[in-house]
Amino acid sequence: MGTTYTEADQSPTDSSVPISLSNLDGYEWSVIRRELSSATGILPTHGTTGIYDAIRWDCLDHYWQCFHPSFPVVHRPSFLPTKPSPLLASAMVAIGSQYDKREDAKSYSLTLLEVATKLLRRRDNITSRSRLADLQTVFLLEILTKYCSRRTEVEMSSRFRSLFASLDQARRPLATDPLAVFRTLRDNPTADDRARAHKFWLDQETRRRILQASMVLDAQQTLLFEQSPTIVRHEPARRGTQTIRCNVSLPCSDELWETSPVETWSDLASKYESPKPSMTRGEQIGSSHRRTLDYFQTQVSFAASQGLTAAGAYLDDPPRPDGEGHQDRDPRIVFNEIARTMAKYTPIRQLLIVSGESWVLGKKLENESEFQEAKDMLRTWVDAQDSSAKALWHASKLIRSRTGFTTAENSDEVVAVTFQDTHMLHEPWVVYLAALVCWACGFAASLQTNSAAMSGAASTTSETTSNSSTSSWSSGHPTLLDTSEAATEMREYLRATDLARPEDLSRLDPLVLGRIHGLLEMVRLHRIAPMPGGLMNEAERVLYRLVERRSRLSHF
């Protein structure tokens, strides 16, 4: 049963014949409109009181330009001429608002995220057979929640887990070639035949993409937060021969996915060859084949072949990200490859526990023994100078790859630091982890140069410092160091660690590795503090405290 809408309810992207919406959709529009109009922290709008004022449709442009290239799970050509579902539109606009420069954009995004999440909880169970808009909404709200919600929520929601499991169980039907119907068409198909083939392709390809995007997100959480995989595989593949599970081929190319109208899509589809699902990882992401895969295909290939056990350990090494032609590749792929390798050699949970002084991901450890164990493990990791050197080498490489410095005219003095944004939602968290790796590996040098200060801090217990952290559980701390001096120190640190091999770090003067406070301060001010949400607030607080106390943690 369709719902009657007023002119004020119309999206500017609507066609004259929008898709029908249910009564539930109409109810959700009214709730979203009401909640946004009464939310605090959002600047008032002018004009009518309809949905134009509630939903900032211009943020869809930010969604398509910044987020969509990384997770193309919404088919743009067919989305634009239709009336979107309320929750899907809200999820997309909330993500797009993260890239908006307006004063209240981040508050608007967080409010819209919360409203849409509350409404989603009222829905019936969403499975692999539900309408596409609902599947897309679950995924988009999940990834935004992981990195930008007001609370620190790194564990996968029950809604996402349920949908992911349903999609995983449907791998066999999803393995059907989306172009199967198209390939059965006669030489001169009618417009109806092409439309039918396109409809089957779009539905099948979209559901597969949501499954594959969920794999990528789950792999990120497993690697960057040491979370248990949502779906654990108990049959480890042989080294070097792992294939994409259940023969679900890679997503189609960006070119085919973005092509419209149907007639143009038909011409391209007739010449298109789907990536073969039987390729091994080396064939899929090796240097000779890598250039033929777009960004999303590459990420799906990595996620499908990551080979994580229930404990989160690699079954096989990822490729090294330092080959020839590196500078010509997609910077997002380069960034993610470096991040994977850094995370592989880093005890992430122990690093977060110690740097957070027994606080980790918004929670206080329940017993002191776990904190002591984390300190011991992190100290052993640093002292061993094997995995820690590899982690540091990749961490400094990662920060160096996204950082630029502006110097004063006719001077070598640094006046500004800029971070080049790839628009990936997980990028600030990865940069934060890289900064913590630099801090931990520079701690031994700090002990040598600040032994007197360290001994003076010996009476400070972990419980006391943890309590002080909870008393300032909000972001927006002031600048601690002179910005020019901090920027110069950061630049010198990155230059000094720009070495050919991880092993070369052992020949550096320990004083060099100990000068990491400028880097911590610049990362905090320019990459972490501007981001909203509980996760980034926690990261900002930790970096502030490390710089404020010059890393004088007697318990590490």
- Cβ-contact 308, 222 below 8 angstroms: yes
Q: What number of other Cβ atoms are within 10 A of residue 2's Cβ?
A: 12
For residue 444, give the nearest of 525, 514, 494, 523 by alpha carbon: 514
- Angle of helix 132-148 versus helix 158-169 axis, rounded to 10: 130
Residue 451 backbone dihedrals phi, psi, to 5 degrees? -60, -35
pLDDT score of 471:
31
Encoded tokens for 376: 């011991």
Contacts of 163 (CB under 8 A, 6+ apart): 126, 127, 128, 135, 138, 139, 214
What residues pair up with 406 in beta bridges, in sequence order?
416
Q: Are residues 406 and 278 in the same domain?
A: no
Q: Are residues 239 and 313 in the same domain?
A: yes
The answer to whether residue 155 is domain-embedded is no
The answer to whether residue 158 is domain-embedded is no
For residue 357, give the nearest of 439, 462, 454, 438 by alpha carbon: 462
Q: Are residues 348 and 435 in the same domain?
A: yes
- Cβ-contact 390, 343 below 8 angstroms: no
Q: Which domain holds residue 78?
A: 1-133
Q: Are residues 1 and 126 in the same domain?
A: yes
Q: Are residues 179 and 118 in the same domain?
A: no
Q: Are residues 310 and 344 in the same domain?
A: no
Q: Tell me the average confidence (pLDDT) per consecutive run of 10 residues in the chain, 556 residues long.
A: 35 32 68 82 58 73 96 92 83 94 89 92 89 95 94 92 95 93 91 95 96 95 92 55 60 94 94 64 42 86 64 38 55 94 96 91 88 93 90 97 85 82 95 96 67 38 35 60 90 95 91 92 93 90 88 50
pLDDT score of 281:
42
The answer to whether residue 359 is domain-embedded is yes
Separation CA 483–CA 95 (nearest Å):
31
Number of domains composing the chain: 3
The answer to whether residue 264 is domain-embedded is yes
The answer to whether residue 502 is domain-embedded is yes
What residues pair up with 405 in beta bridges, in sequence order?
417
Contacts of 248 (CB under 8 A, 6+ apart): 171, 174, 175, 208, 211, 212, 277
Q: E strand or H helix at 116, and its extent?
A: helix 105-121
pLDDT score of 246:
54
Looking up tokens 């654990």 gives 232
Encoded tokens for 140: 């988009």
Q: Could you tell me the sign of the dihedral formed by the alpha carbons of 397, 401, 402, 404, in that order?
A: positive
Q: Are residues 304 and 374 in the same domain?
A: no
Q: Are residues 304 and 375 in the same domain?
A: no
What residues pair up with 359 in beta bridges, in sequence order?
364
The answer to whether residue 523 is domain-embedded is yes
Q: Classify each residue of 63-74 as buried b or exposed e, where b means 16 or more C-beta atoms within 10 Å of its C-beta.
A: bbebbbbbbbbb
Q: Are residues 367 and 277 in the same domain?
A: no
Q: Are residues 312 and 344 in the same domain?
A: no
The answer to whether residue 41 is domain-embedded is yes
- Cβ-contact 399, 494 below 8 angstroms: yes
HEC readout, 457-523: CCCCCHHHHHHHHHHCCCCCCCCCCCHHHHHHHHHHHHHHCCCCCHHHHHHCCHHHHHCCHHHHHHH
The answer to whether residue 423 is domain-embedded is yes
pLDDT in tens, 342-351: 999 999 999 9
pTM for the full predicted model: 0.84
Per-residue DSSP letter, 314: B
- Cβ-contact 479, 471 below 8 angstroms: no
Separation CA 441–CA 449 (nearest Å):
14
Q: Are residues 296 and 351 in the same domain?
A: no
pLDDT score of 447:
64
Among the candidates 317, 348, 372, a domain finishes at 317
Per-residue DSSP letter, 308: B
Among the candidates 261, 282, 317, a domain finishes at 317
Among the candidates 264, 285, 317, a domain finishes at 317
pLDDT score of 241:
43
Q: Are residues 407 and 491 in the same domain?
A: yes
